[in-house]
Structures are given as structure tokens and as C-alpha cells.
Amino acid sequence: MVLLHPLSDFINPNTTVNNSSPTYNYQGYCPQTGELLQLPRTPLAEAIAHSLMAQLAQDELYSREGKMYGILLIKLPNGEQKILKAFSGLLNGCSDVEGWVPAIPGREEVRLDEVRTLAELETIKQELITLKQIPERQEYEKLEQEFVARLQQMSQNHSDRKQQRHQKRHILTETLVGEALNTAIAELEKESRQDGIARKLLKRERNQVLQPLKQIIEDADVQIRELKRKRKELSCQLQAQMHAAYSLMNFYGRSQTLQQLLPQGLPTGTGDCCAPKLLHYAATHNLKPLAMAEFWWGESSKDKIQGNFYDACVERCQPLMGFLLSGLQSTSTANTALAAEKHKTTLSTINYQLSTPNYFPIQEELSIVYEDEWLIAVNKPSGLLSVPGRYSHNQDSVLSRLRNLFPDEVNLQAVHRLDMDTSGILVLARDSQAHSLLNQQFQQRQIHKVYEAVLAGCIYIDKGVIELPLWGDPKNRPYQQVNWQYGKQCITNFRVISTAGHCTHVEFIPITGRTHQLRVHAAHPKGLGVPILGDRLYGDCQTTDRLHLHARELCLQHPYIEDKKLHLQTNTPF
């Protein structure tokens, strides 16, 4: 089966491709050396991918289902360049298709278990559908609505009769006396009791009719919960089997299973994406990767558009990049030096230091901005999490450090979050009541926040308001995108502080507080159209020592001291 495709299958030899800087870098830290390893998505890789898109468009087979596709430009030991191509998951139910990189070894080992489990899951799915559609549900809803209507009509009738009795009672007290009055009043009270009895009888009838149906529905719901539990258990079991069987190789020639790489667990589908397939195949066949590109093709989904390029998915691929690229000589050091020399000139007036990024845990001590017996505010450095992450290598954080510093304060909690790469003021509460009161201020937008940022380019407006709704892509967390249909309202005020070279120093005042709000509002074409310096997630490809975004000021009401307004400030470190 031919897997190495000549460049001429995708690019005309006479075609000139812009040899500009990469549009994105697949990257991760080598577990052995700690070196940042990068594999670029270059204009040439994108041109090859566009050619592949044109080929896919000619065959209806590839348009039946939307999925990710990828290409890898590689160099053979003899110096010749070739192309590998891959698809994510299965293509029309097949894992191995002629001309495409095969699935990562290990899938065949669990093939029978996978087929059996998928069959069980399909059976469970059909049982769930049946239980959700039992006729008793529709019958119960219909009868319940009928009884509600009858009770409402009865209540209206009784209300009218009560009003009539009230009027009669008034007339009787004016026209009758003695025993005649008592007899007439007793008759009215008897009518009232009869109305009450009629209401009770109708409710009893309702319960007698609906209770058997309700019991059948509750029994079905118990079965549904049990089936969902079993479905989750089967899915997790199959996922664990796959992760234990899938074996990846890096460019040192070392192999590890997905389970060994991340024993804490990975989302379903990890190992089936294009990037791991391509890099594993290249490593096992002594092929040197030069560039890679992944794109979506087929029916567009709410978060993926046909023909668009996408970065390594945060939950499935990114955690594997450091291992997969290990042993591959990184070009990051040379690129970093070149970028640093280039930008030192343009940014010398504002003294920005450009160097190789460092995402290893920050070792400097936390600077406490404010402290009393109820709360603590710290100046969080860039590169440190606000709270511990999901996996063991993401436990270093502001919260974990403060809990180590104050071991007796078991109720210490972060009131809000700052992105890992954002620096600035972070507030933590020392008891649950203070946390609740402060959290209410954030939710009710009573907190005044001021950020400073440096944009990686020039803008031509001095101040204004950005209103773009943001929606989090559940398959590519924590990436946020502007989405007018599903997005939540986001508002940011901004003003330009200064400009220097090709950069713009701005002040942001967010009115709402969504994830990555300032970063997207800066980078999006309908926002400022220029990403924040160092924000590779949203489009800045320059090599800098950090994300240039800092939470400079925070104004809030003290949770316990009514007349105390806290105005917390820090110096911007860039």
C-alpha cells in the first residue's frame, strides 16, 4: 500500500509558495530534556492541504461525514520530500484505507472487544429509546392535563358559588332573624362543605388514575438510570482497554501506551486524531517531519467549518505532543533567537524582553497585595495556574501554594480565576461565607476590573466598546469563539495608552467576565483585530517570554466591613 506520496501529487513544481513564518506551531515539552519542541504549520503545508481538499471534493465518499484530515510533509534519509495523509477516527467505518496512514497499533488488539462493546452500547441505546417512549408517558401527560383542566374549572365554579353564597349571606342577615337565619346559614355552609368534598373526590380520582401510570414511569426511569450507568461503565472500560493497548512511538524510538503517558485518563477518541497517527507513523519509519497541517472536511458542525485549519485539540492531542515530538530536533531555539533580534529593535522603547517561552512552574514567591482575617489578594505571576488542574502535572497553583503556606486554612478558596498566562490580582476567601459574598459581587458585576495589555500590532481607534458574544468549543477547550447563536454576552471597554514600534499598549475594562474574553475581543476581526502579544492560541506567532496581559486593578466591597471599599493595585510587569 502506497503511503508516501510525492510532492507533485499536491503541488505543481512551478508553483511558488510564500515562505513566510509558520501560521501555527504544534509544540510540547520533551519529557527527557524539558526542551520546547515545535513542528510548524507552514504556508507550504497549508498549500498541500488545500490541494488535498480539492481532491476530496471530487469524491462524494469524503463528504458523507465531517471529520478532521491532516497532512505531514516529511524528509526521507536521502533528502527527498514526501507527503503523508491521515484522517481522524474511522472513514466510513474503516480504520485502514488505501493511501492513508493506518490506525495506531493496538486497535486490532481490542477490535473484538470494541465490536462487542459497541454492540452492547447500541442495544442499550435502543432500550433507552424504548423506555423513554413508553406509551404510559404520553397517556400520563394527557390525563394529567385533563385533570388539571377539570380542577381549574372546578376551582372557578367553586369560586363563583362562594361569591354567590357571600352575597346570599349578606342578604339573609338583613332579612331574616332567629331560627330562620340559622337554618339558612347552615344550608350555605353545607353547600360549602359539599364543594370541598367534590374537590377531594376529584383529587382522589386523579390519584387513582395517575398513580399506576406514574409507578410504571418511575420504574422505567430507574431502568434508564441503570442503563446509563452501565453505558458509562462500558464506555470507560473500552476506553481504558484502548488506552492500554494503543502504543505510540517518538523520534527517540521509545514506545509508550496512552495509559502510561497519561494514567489520569484521557477523553474518548484520544489516539485516533490525525496528528498522533502521522507523527507515530513517521517515527516508526525513520521519516523526519518538516511541517504539518490539519483541517476539517465534510459536513460542517456547530464548531467546525469545512475547509478551515485547526490547531491541536487541547484535550486529546496537545497532552501527547511533548512525547510524540521527543527526539525531533527542534527549530525553536534558532527561530527564537531570530525573532528576539528582530523585535528588540522595534520594541526597545518599551523594553520588552523576547526569549524562549518557559512554561515550567514559576518558582518565585507569591506577592501578597492585601491580607486580613477574611481574604487574601495576591499578584499572580504569568505561567502559574490560579487553582490546581485536572492532571498531576498541573497541581502547582496559587491556591495550592497558599494552602501549603497556611495549612490550617482548609476553607481557603479562589473567588475568581485568571488564565494561566495572565498575571495580576487574584482574590481568595478564607471562609465559605466570605467566598459566597465576594462571589455574588462578581456575578452581579459589582467588581471594577482594569487590565493592561500589549497588542502585537497597531490599531487606529483611541477608545471604544467591544460587544462580541463568546461560546466555548466543548471539543477544543479552553478555546473560545465568537458565536452569535450560542454565545454569551461579553462587553469590554478599551482605550489606547501608548504605541511603540509595531505594538499598542491598551487598557481594558471588562464589564462581563467570560473565559478568554479580552484575548478574543482583541484578536477577533470584529473586535480590535490584533491579538495580544504572546497569545499563540488566538493568532500571535511572535516568540515572547509571556502573554502580555495583566490584571492591574480590582475594586470591590469588603465582604464583612460595610463601609470599607478595597481598591487593589499592582504594577504592570511589561
DSSP 384-435: -BSS--SSGGG--BHHHHHHHHSTT-TT-EESS---TT-EEEEEEESSHHHH
Residue 398 has pLDDT above 80, yes or no: yes
Instruction: List the single range of 154-168, 229-243, 311-325, 393-407 with lowest mean pLDDT.
Output: 229-243
Percent of the chain with pLDDT over 70: 87
What is the SS3 assignment for 525-552? CCCCCCCECCCHHHCCCCCCCCCCEEEE
Distance CA(99)–CA(444), nearest Å, equals: 57
Report which listed range, 12-21, 286-295, 400-409, is most confident.
286-295
| Residues of the chain by 3-state class (helix, strand, coil), percent to 5 | 40, 20, 40
Query: Which residues share a beta bridge with 293?
Result: 71
Counting every residue, how long is the chain? Answer: 574
Distance CA(309)–CA(525), nearest Å, equals: 17
Q: What pLDDT, on the 0 to 100 scale, is given for residue 108?
A: 61
Distance CA(162)–CA(194), nearest Å, equals: 12
CB 431 within 8 A of CB 411: yes
Q: How confident is the model at residue 20 (pLDDT cuts 50, 70, 90)?
A: low
Residue 61 has pLDDT above 90, yes or no: no
Q: Which whole number is the average pLDDT over 285-311?
A: 90
Residue 535 CB contacts under 8 Å (≥ 6 apart), including other chains: 421, 456, 519, 522, 523, 547, 549
Q: Which whole number is the average pLDDT over 457-464?
A: 90
Q: How confident is the model at residue 410 (pLDDT cuts 50, 70, 90)?
A: confident
Between 359 and 365, the higher pLDDT residue: 365
Q: What pLDDT, on the 0 to 100 scale, is given for residue 446?
A: 92
Distance CA(207)–CA(329), nearest Å, equals: 75
Q: Which whole number is the average pLDDT over 427-447?
A: 92
Percent of the chain with pLDDT over 90: 56
Distance CA(199)–CA(158), nearest Å, equals: 9
Query: What are the CB-based long-range contacts (under 8 Å, 24+) for 208-217?
Result: 209/143, 209/147, 210/140, 210/143, 210/144, 210/147, 213/136, 213/139, 213/140, 213/143, 214/140, 216/134, 216/136, 217/134, 217/136, 217/137, 217/140
Residue 441: which H helix or E strand, with range? helix 432-443
Between 348 and 374, the higher pLDDT residue: 374
Q: How confident is the model at residue 72 (pLDDT cuts 50, 70, 90)?
A: very high
Task: Quickly count: other Cβ atoms within 10 Å of residue 428's Cβ.
Answer: 24
Between 93 and 505, the higher pLDDT residue: 505
Q: Read off the C-alpha cell for 182.
A: 340559622
DSSP-derived letter for residue 352 is P
Distance CA(231)–CA(239), nearest Å, equals: 12
CB 377 within 8 A of CB 554: yes
Q: Read off the C-alpha cell for 200.
A: 377531594
Residue 96 CB contacts under 8 Å (≥ 6 apart), including other chains: 102, 103
Q: What pLDDT, on the 0 to 100 scale, is given for residue 41?
A: 94
Q: What pLDDT, on the 0 to 100 scale, is given for residue 93?
A: 77
Q: How confident is the model at residue 59 (pLDDT cuts 50, 70, 90)?
A: confident
Q: Please report how many Cα atoms fall inside a 13 Å half-sphere around the Cα of residue 155, on the Cβ side.
A: 7
Instruction: List the single range of 140-149, 266-275, 369-378 with lowest mean pLDDT.
Output: 266-275
Q: Read off the C-alpha cell for 360.
A: 515550567
Q: How confident is the model at residue 355 (pLDDT cuts 50, 70, 90)?
A: very low
Q: What pLDDT, on the 0 to 100 scale, is given for residue 94?
A: 81
Report which listed range, 129-143, 241-255, 258-272, is most confident.
129-143
**Among 419, 421, 535, 540, which one carries the catalytic annotation?**
419
Is 113 one of the annotated active-site residues of the chain? no
CB 323 within 8 A of CB 250: yes
Residue 267 has pLDDT above 60, yes or no: no
Give the chain's mean pLDDT.
85
Q: Read off the C-alpha cell for 19.
A: 515562505
What is the SS3 assignment for 202-239? HHHHHHHHHHHHHHHHHHHHHHHHHHHHHHHHHHHHHH
Report which listed range, 29-43, 293-307, 315-329, 428-442, is most confident.
428-442
Q: What is the pLDDT of residues 473-503, one digit of tens each?
A: 776 778 899 998 889 999 999 999 999 888 9
CB 568 within 8 A of CB 377: yes
Locus of grid cell 502585537: 456
Locus of grid cell 381549574: 152
CB 515 within 8 A of CB 352: no
Q: What pLDDT, on the 0 to 100 scale, is given for residue 62?
A: 82
Q: How confident is the model at residue 351 (pLDDT cuts 50, 70, 90)?
A: very low
Q: What pLDDT, on the 0 to 100 scale, is given for residue 341?
A: 36
Between 158 and 34, the higher pLDDT residue: 158
Q: What is the pLDDT of residues 208-217, one digit of tens each?
A: 999 999 999 9
Cis peptide before 105 (omega within 30 of 0): no
| pTM for this entry | 0.44
Locus of grid cell 342577615: 173
Locus of grid cell 489606547: 496
Q: What pLDDT, on the 0 to 100 scale, is given for residue 344?
A: 34
CB 385 within 8 A of CB 420: yes
Task: Quickly count: other Cβ atoms within 10 Å of residue 172's Cβ.
Answer: 19
CA-based max dimension of the chain: 122
